[in-house]
Structure 1
Amino acid sequence: MPDIIGEYVDRLVTVEMRNRAMNHNIIGGIYEQARAEGGGRPISARAAQALVDAVRPGDRVLIVTGAGYAPEAPNGESDGPPGAAALAHALFWGLRAVPVFVTEPCHAPPVVASSQAAGIMVRDYALCHDRRMGAALAVSPERQEEVAAWAAGLLDAYRPSAIVAIERLGPNEHGVIHYSTGVRPEACIDLAPLFELAARRRILSIGIGDNGNEIGFGRIFPFMKDFHPYGRRCQYEGGVGVPTTVATDIFFPASISNWGAYGLSAMLAFLCGRLDVLHTPAVEREVIRACLDAGGWEMRYCTSRFIVDGTEGESSMAIVQLLRDMVRVNIASPDRGLSHGDLDH
């Protein structure tokens, strides 16, 4: 049964809605490649089961997000923090885990605002660890040379059972981070060392992304080099392409990274047999609005309009509603109603 619902969860969150001037008509091919590389099962089902198997009550799960930089989007964008908040909600209520958000200082305000709008308050780690009171927050250094030591200390301190990247940019083969159309942002911190160290420590890792430049896409790096419109070029001389080399144990591409996180949360709700593990469309509205108001703007025109990756916020609300209905009807007791005869016949 998980693979049946997972099939349709994956279909829903990979419905592409992109302006034709952007990288478009690509998510279907990316998804099929990622699914085949991962063994053929629906990816949302595989990722959710991996979390259920790895995470026990009280365990910490790192949720790494943050994309978009000054001067265009000094606190990041509206794709990433809402997905991180949704997953934190699912982990907290479904697996009784302690979510720990990991991000750069500039991205922290939208991440905190999104989580608190989802009802997961961001608290001191001692309260989270000792009493499971909400989610914790860990911010990275602002100097790249300090990241490796910080990453080791973070994993030592939190001893996570899993680490999930949602719309977190990763470097290409030259160690350069890009936006999806070959633009190179300034003053960004590369958090890939955290995933490299997690791999060495055999910590389960999941990557969710939508355009080739996010952590996780490294699992299908050779494919992306040839398939992606900016696989081998950038918008500056000498650029070799935007796809990241950073892989995760499981990679889940979606049309919008938030939607991938919602799909994973829906599968956790299904496996837990509890609809409340997945947030509601009404909460989704509050989360997106909180993210935008905290500076996590829509990335196309860098405004606080109710938009995520070019799609109206109501579309994200609709995705959440459809996912909730998928979970609801699949966890309900078998029931034909009154007009379809006896279930035993």
Structure 2
Amino acid sequence: MHQGYFKGLENILKANLGYRGMENAFLEGELKKAARSLIAGDTIFIVTGFIVKDACIGETDGPIGAVSIAAALEQLGKRVVLISDKYSEDILAQCSLARGVSAAMEIMGSHMSTQLSQKLLKKYKPSHIIAVERPGRAADGKCYSMRGEDLSDMAPIADDLFEEAKKAGVITIGIGDGGNEIGMGKIRPYIVNSVDKGELICAAFASDFLIAAGVSNWGGHALSAALSLLSHKMLLHDINTEIAMLKSAVDAGAVDGCTKKRSLTVDGLSLEDNLDAFMTIKNIVAEALEEQYILMQL
């Protein structure tokens, strides 16, 4: 598939990164590398859910992107396990229902201990584990919001699962937009120097592949699009399903992570802005598949 289509996806992911000082944090080529690795995988863990402290509930960014990836992987015959916590459990379940995803779900308790992590890895034997907008443990052992709020007394820290997975040879992928999400340790020097409160909030764990995105849901959709390009089939849903997923998340209690309000917005961006990004991503895939079809007829 022509490299220009992957560049097009990367350009969408870079949009809005400057909002949090992440404009130069993007790692070229990681999207395609992550997708290519997943094509060869079998069982994939997807961990998501980011609690908004004042609202005591998960946000609208993360679960939608996670379910988008899960749906794409299921269409490719992969086994998917969705992992979250009590704050995002219903949000993730309702998004999955709206998209028609049948993946198993595991809900973390107060802490994802080393013992529990090893138990889950032994139970499912994943080839990959993906974090989509999941708070990551900082250098001081705590996890933080983008504002520097300490979330450690509420959000179960999932880093042990990723660390144990990495020890077991499981490939790790991180998707985030602010520097405080699991996987962002891969670009720690940049985050410390360029992101507000970067030294405090930067997640310590460095994933094998890191996909920075202006909005993490967009990163999830772009990874589904990259899987579509590599498999030569459309794996993304339609715009009505995208709207239904967001509505189901909000109906389940999700709030916008920036405004902290229950609304059909993500990271302070309107429904229209998010739909424009989604459709631009999907249209890149449609154009690529159409070009391939034309070439096959020649």
Q: TM-score, normalised by structure 1?
A: 0.81
* Cα distance per residue 1:157-208 (max 9 Å; x no partner): 0111111000000011111100012111232211100000010011111000
Gaps (5+ residues) in structure 1? Answer: 18-22, 36-41, 121-133, 233-240, 337-342
Q: Which amino acid aligns with 2:87?
A: C
Structure 2 residue aligned with 1:123: none
**1:54 maps to which of 35, 41, 48:** 41
Aligned 8 A contact 2:52 2:257 in 1: no
**2:95 maps to which of 103, 106, 114:** 114
**1:29 maps to which of 21, 24, 33:** 24
**2:86 maps to which of 105, 108, 112:** 105
Q: Which amino acid aligns with 1:49?
A: R
Question: Structure 2 vs 1, CA of residues 2 and 191 (structure 1 numbering), >3 Å: closer, same or farther?
Answer: farther
Structure 2 residue aligned with 1:39: none
Identical-residue share of aligned pairs (%):
27
Greater Rg over alpha carbons, structure: 1
Structure 2 residue aligned with 1:168: 134
Q: Aligned-residue CA RMSD in angstroms? A: 1.8
Aligned 8 A contact 1:74 1:295 in 2: no
Local SS of the residue matching 1:105: coil
Structure 2 residue aligned with 1:256: 215
Structure 1 residue aligned with 2:156: 189
Q: What aligned pairs does 1:161-310 form with structure 2 within 5 A after superposition?
A: 161-185=127-151, 186-232=153-199, 241-275=200-234, 277-310=235-268
Q: Which amino acid aligns with 2:90?
A: P
**1:329 maps to which of 287, 294, 298:** 287
* Cα distance per residue 1:3-33 (max 9 Å; x no partner): 321111010122117xxxxx726232111xx
Local SS of the residue matching 2:156: coil
**1:318 maps to which of 260, 276, 285:** 276
Q: What aligned pairs does 1:40-189 form with structure 2 within 5 A after superposition?
A: 42-55=29-42, 60-70=43-53, 72-93=54-75, 95-120=76-101, 134-142=102-110, 144=111, 147-185=113-151, 186-189=153-156
CA distance in 1, matches of 2:74, 2:95: 15
Q: Which amino acid aligns with 1:140?
A: M
CA distance in 1, matches of 2:109, 2:113: 6
Gaps (5+ residues) in structure 2? Answer: none
CA distance in 2, matches of 1:300, 1:54: 34
What displacement does 1:137 show? 0.3
Aligned 8 A contact 1:279 1:320 in 2: no
Question: Structure 2 vs 1, CA of residues 295 and 7 (structure 1 numbering), >3 Å: closer, same or farther?
Answer: same
Question: Structure 2 vs 1, CA of residues 292 and 15 (structure 1 numbering), >3 Å: closer, same or farther?
Answer: same
Task: Using the TM superposition, name which of 45-54 and 164-173 deviates more.
Answer: 45-54
* Cα distance per residue 1:245-302 (max 9 Å; x no partner): 1111100000000100100000111111111x11111111000110111011112232
Q: What aligned pairs does 1:3-22 form with structure 2 within 5 A after superposition?
A: 3-16=3-16
Aligned 8 A contact 1:199 1:205 in 2: yes
Q: Which amino acid aligns with 1:137?
A: M
CA distance in 1, matches of 2:190, 2:119: 34
CA distance in 2, matches of 1:335, 1:69: 47
Question: Structure 2 vs 1, CA of residues 83 and 270 (structure 1 numbering), >3 Å: closer, same or farther?
Answer: same
Aligned 8 A contact 1:140 1:150 in 2: no
What displacement does 1:335 show? 4.3
CA distance in 2, matches of 1:326, 1:24: 24
CA distance in 1, matches of 2:2, 2:181: 27
User: Which consecutive segments of 4 or more residues in structure 1 shift more than 3 A?
Assistant: 333-336
* Cα distance per residue 1:207-230 (max 9 Å; x no partner): 000000001101111221112121
Aligned 8 A contact 1:92 1:99 in 2: yes
CA distance in 1, matches of 2:116, 2:178: 28
What displacement does 1:69 show? 4.0
CA distance in 2, matches of 1:6, 1:73: 37
- What number of residue pairs does the alignment pair up? 295
